[in-house]
Structure 1
Amino acid sequence: MGLEVKNLTGGYSSIPVIKKENFDVKDGELVSLIGLNGAGKSTTINHIIGLMKPFAGTIKLNGMQIEDDLKEYKQQIAYIPEVPVLYQELTLKEHIETTIMAYSLNEAEAWQKADRLLKIFRLDNKLEWLPANFSKGMKQKVMIICAFITNASLFVIDEPFLGLDPLAVNDLLKLIEERKKAGCSVLMSTHVLDTAEKYCDRFVLINNGVVRYEGTYQEIKTKYADLGNSLNDIYLSLAKDEKHG
């Protein structure tokens, strides 16, 4: 069933930042949220993962709203934020153990997944390290490992490419493809449009808190053929029009 966002309006205090958003992420699909800084991407994500309460509209994940069962709703989501959020007093091993407890995972199965991911991201010899010893890219890898040991049906990934080296980007894209094939949904926010263009199934273009267009890369190219040949060119043209319109 995946993620379904209908007429979502929300923001901070009483000021709407996003207005009547409508889009979905189907099972086995990677959808990219694209927009300039301040367009409403992070606000949209914060509503989906349950950090903000909508003013109006609905968010359903596999037919469930957060009000139906808070714990079950959140356990269906694995979130990788743009800025890694780690506990300074916990080692890498303890972060994995905390994730296993938070998601009520089978410990043996979760550690089997973790061991594989630790090797992929070259952190298997750093289990006793604290976050203070990690670079930004290594912290990002910790967040990726903790997300991908879960049994989440929706992965929400915010700007994943900015702090990762090219090898880690490739490894992450392979993991996303694996989870897609297993039927999971992936919602990704990114400014790296040349990479998104190659890997995403559909795009949701947001400007000033409004979904400007939703569709595949080919559909966007056909609709906005006069604006350029790449997703980057098309989006920049749309954003400039919106800014000056």
Structure 2
Amino acid sequence: MNLLEIQNLSGGYDKVKILHGLSFQIKAGEILGLIGPNGAGKTTIIKSILGILPPMDGEIKMLQYNIKEDSLEFKKRIAYIPEVPLLYDEMTLLEHLEFVAMSHGIHRKVFEERIHKLLEIFRLSNKLHHFPNSFSKGMKQKVMILCAFLYDPSVYIVDEPFVGLDPKATKDFIDLIKRKREENKGILMCTHVLDTAEKICDRFILISSGQIEATGTLEELREYAGMKEGSLGDIYDRLVRDGE
């Protein structure tokens, strides 16, 4: 089953078109890797899905909800982990989590159960009453992960999630998104860490110059690139270089 469907999406900023007729889907129980060089359009895709940039053309649908017609219901079903953590200096870690819980209507008992597990996983239990201006980059990223996994959306969008995370936190995060895949959630993961993406993603979309250069499983990308045993990094290097 498709959770998120992108159909003939064109978009950009003002009159500058960056995306040119993209179509792809995120399936239930799938981690989809979004890869491509800087300036290829990956951030524009994410902003379009989040409703930050209205599409110039095409459709974005979450289950039966269209982002143009059912924006609120659409956005309720997405959790987003940005590359750069966005936190309030005047709110403690606990207040951030309570704010997310309140805005998504999470019952207090459910909140306490979920947050206890997440705090334990990412070793932040002793930071509940601390302010984020005292946190390291990695700790701030962990807070964003906690906020995203506190509620229960259909699709998770994660943008360069490994930046700033230590090896233990990286493993914990990967285990968490694998668990969500087993729960039939969809995950769109934008990353330049190709060796990690190769190990955990089910399919890939390679974006170049606002268009889909290639899409499919690792085996399908190998066949497309003519590299029978090539790594994702090797395939990326060939297709992006040839595309340029």
TM-score (normalizing by structure 1): 0.96
Q: Secondary structure at the match of 2:236?
A: helix
- Does residue 223 of structure 1 match 2:224? yes
Amino acid at match of 2:101: I
- Structure 2 distance, partners of 1:137, 1:144, is 11
Aligned counterpart, 1:90: 91
Moved over 4 A (4+): none
Report the Cα offset of residue 228 of structure 1.
6.8
Aligned counterpart, 1:154: 155
Identity %: 47
Q: Secondary structure at the match of 2:102?
A: helix
Amino acid at match of 2:144: M
Q: Kindly tell me the number of residue pairs found equivalent between the two proteins.
A: 243
- Does residue 14 of structure 1 match 2:15? yes
Aligned counterpart, 1:120: 121
Greater shift in the superposed pair: 58-67 or 222-231: 222-231
- Does residue 193 of structure 1 match 2:194? yes
Structure 1: state its 5+ residue gaps: none
Report the Cα offset of residue 240 of structure 1.
1.3
- 8 Å contact from structure 1 (residues 10, 16) kept in 2: yes
Q: Secondary structure at the match of 1:3?
A: strand
Structure 2: state its 5+ residue gaps: none
Aligned counterpart, 1:172: 173
- Structure 2 distance, partners of 1:177, 1:240, is 31
Aligned counterpart, 1:101: 102
Deviations 1:181-209 (A, max 9, x none): 11110000000000110110000000001
- Does residue 62 of structure 1 match 2:63? yes
Q: Secondary structure at the match of 2:238?
A: helix
Root mean square deviation, CA, Å: 1.2
Aligned counterpart, 1:137: 138
Amino acid at match of 1:242: G
Aligned counterpart, 2:241: 240
- 8 Å contact from structure 1 (residues 154, 185) kept in 2: yes
Aligned counterpart, 2:6: 5
Amino acid at match of 1:240: R
- 8 Å contact from structure 1 (residues 207, 242) kept in 2: yes
Greater shift in the superposed pair: 221-230 or 194-203: 221-230
- 8 Å contact from structure 1 (residues 84, 139) kept in 2: yes
Aligned counterpart, 2:213: 212
Q: Secondary structure at the match of 1:67?
A: coil
- Structure 2 distance, partners of 1:86, 1:154, is 22
- Structure 1 distance, partners of 2:94, 2:137, is 18
